[in-house]
A = this chain, B = another copy of it.
Amino acid sequence: MLEEQFLEYVKKMTAYNEAIGVMFWDLRTGAPKKGVEQRSEVIGMLSSEAFQMSTSEEMAAFLAQLNTGEAGQHISDITKKMLSECQKEYDRNKKIPADEYKEYIILASKSESAWEEAKAKSDFALFQPYLEKIVEYKKRFVEYWGYKGNKYNTLLDMYEPGVTVEVIDRVFGQLRDRIVPLVQQIAASTNKPATSFLYRHFPKEQQRKFSLAILKELGYDFEAGRLDETVHPFATGLNPGDVRITTRYDENDFRTAIFGTIHECGHALYEQNISKELIGTNLCDGTSMGIHESQSLFFEKFIGKNYSFWKRNYGILKQYTPGQFDDVALDDFYRAVNESKPSLIRIEADELTYPLHIMVRYEIEKGLINGEIEVKDLPQIWNDKYEEYLGIRPENDAKGVLQDVHWSGGDFGYFPSYALGYMYAAQFKHAILKDLPDFDQLIEDGKVDEIRQWLTYHIHQYGKTKQPLEILQDVTGEGLNAGYLIDYLEEKYRRIYQLV
């Protein structure tokens, strides 16, 4: 009954994680500030408990006996996959000397504070010594963990198992070759959409009501979730019966809330529809950062920015903000929300230019980890790359190399998932059309749930029981192919900007 003991053991680990998840959600949605310090202690204590369980002697015994021993002969397939996840985590945590890891955690925490200050003062020099140390640690960790081919592969593998530098270099190369010229053509276009009406006042409470209506239409289950307001929107899956999303309201730009909500809804639909059988296992989660992002981007881009979606919902939107769009035809509205314009800040980028922001970061990360780029040169390299890909140059570090928090906390290997997710989404979209050729019509008829069901059947339900590239292969019949995203962007933006 060693298998049962193992299942019980993992269940306890997931219980800690769920409790931590509830506390994080609570901290971000209105926990009183004087309780935060003690709450952080509590979260720290539970996290450390879960961490210890993942590297304990008990875990080592489970892995040894169930992976190879007699007891492991008749375990279920689910248990095998659970063991494999535990083994990965065990190796990752055990291979780094405990003292070194502790030093690194302290450094990362200080580094985040230094980054905050550096960004506020727009002064990279304040952050540089911290980032140098972070990069040194990461390089050393890669040596401990080991690597195949490129050293950066080991970091990629943490967020997107199976994806390598070789694959990314290929698809990013294709994207670059066709998107950069397109962006340049659009910048020179004389057919730019009018957008000033987007910035008219739209009361927050009305935006909230419209967001709720849209969530309902997209199939978000309010008996298994709720919508709240936060500074930084997120989705959090506590268990498939409780997947919460948050959004942010800008009364002078309704797009923040609406498209943000649709994006988080995509994440949430993934987690609400993971098979109930996986509850209490370590497989009850999205299978990777990239596949997760593919679901949020699928909903944001292929549904929320779709003409059919607004054909259906533009009239409804108008009811929530009387007067704002009286003088705006549907086609002009559609072109406006799909405006593309090179910009400096990643999180504000449109769907066409967004992948270019990711490429800049990917190339820099890869260079840093392989020792081909030095931290001190980052501002220069960053600015040069922005100029090369987007045709604009940051006027300072706050709007350049200091804009993202990721590196300060040591999150290298994470950025590519954003672009991978986008490519997955386009590839899934192409596959859906074979089964649901009237995709746009379904959206126009308010039958998005049929699309959601397709995604659940092919992707959501599996949680982590399938690896990302396994899902991609099973759903689309091929490996990663940037062509679908490129074709989509080319077609859509040539049409919107009336390019020849």
Contacts and interface: CB of A to CB of B under 8 A. Distances in A.
Interface of A: 11-12, 15-16, 18-20, 22-23, 26, 30-39, 41-42, 45-46, 49, 221-226, 238-242, 244, 279-280
A239 B36 CA distance: 10
Given A15-B41, A19-B23, A33 B223 contact: yes
B46 A15 contact: yes
Given A22-B26, A23-B19, A23-B22, A32 B223 contact: yes
B35 A224 contact: yes
Nearest to A12: B45
A30 B226 CA distance: 8
A14 to B, nearest CB: 8
B19 A241 contact: no
A15 to B, nearest CB: 4
A196 B222 CA distance: 40
A18 B20 CA distance: 11
Contacts of A18: 38-39, 42
A241 B33 CA distance: 7
Nearest to A8: B45
Contact of A224 (B19, B34, B239, B244): B34
**Number of copies of chain A assembled together:** 2
A61 B189 CA distance: 79
Contact of A238 (B22, B35, B226, B244): B35
A373 to B, nearest CB: 42
B15 A45 contact: yes
A16 B46 CA distance: 8
A37 B280 CA distance: 12
21 contacts: A15-B42, A15-B46, A19-B20, A19-B23, A22-B22, A26-B26, A30-B226, A32-B242, A33-B223, A33-B241, A34-B221, A34-B223, A34-B240, A35-B224, A35-B238, A35-B240, A35-B241, A38-B242, A38-B279, A38-B280, A39-B238
State the majority secondary structure of interface residues on A. helix
A115 to B, nearest CB: 27
Contacts of A16: 46
Contacts of A11: 41, 45
A490 to B, nearest CB: 41
A38 B241 contact: yes
A19 to B, nearest CB: 5
Among A34, A37, A49, the most chain B Cβ lie within 10 Å of the Cβ of A34
Contacts of A33: 223, 241
Contacts of A19: 19-20, 22-23, 42, 46
Contacts of A239: 35, 38-39
Contacts of A42: 15, 18-19
A48 B240 CA distance: 23
A34 B242 contact: yes
Contacts of A223: 32-34
Contact of A37 (B26, B225, B241): B241
Nearest to A16: B46
A111 B46 CA distance: 33
B22 A241 contact: no
Contact of A241 (B34, B49, B224): B34
Contacts of A36: 241
Given A15-B41, A22-B22, 7 more contacts: A12-B45, A15-B46, A18-B38, A18-B42, A30-B226, A34-B224, A34-B240
A45 B238 CA distance: 15
Contacts of A280: 38, 41
A41 to B, nearest CB: 7
Contacts of A35: 224, 238-242
A244 B49 CA distance: 27
Contacts of A241: 32-38
Contacts of A46: 15-16, 19
Contacts of A240: 34-35
Nearest to A19: B19
A45 B18 CA distance: 11
A30 B38 CA distance: 24
A116 B224 CA distance: 26
Nearest to A11: B45
Contacts of A238: 35, 39
Nearest to A31: B242
A20 B37 CA distance: 17
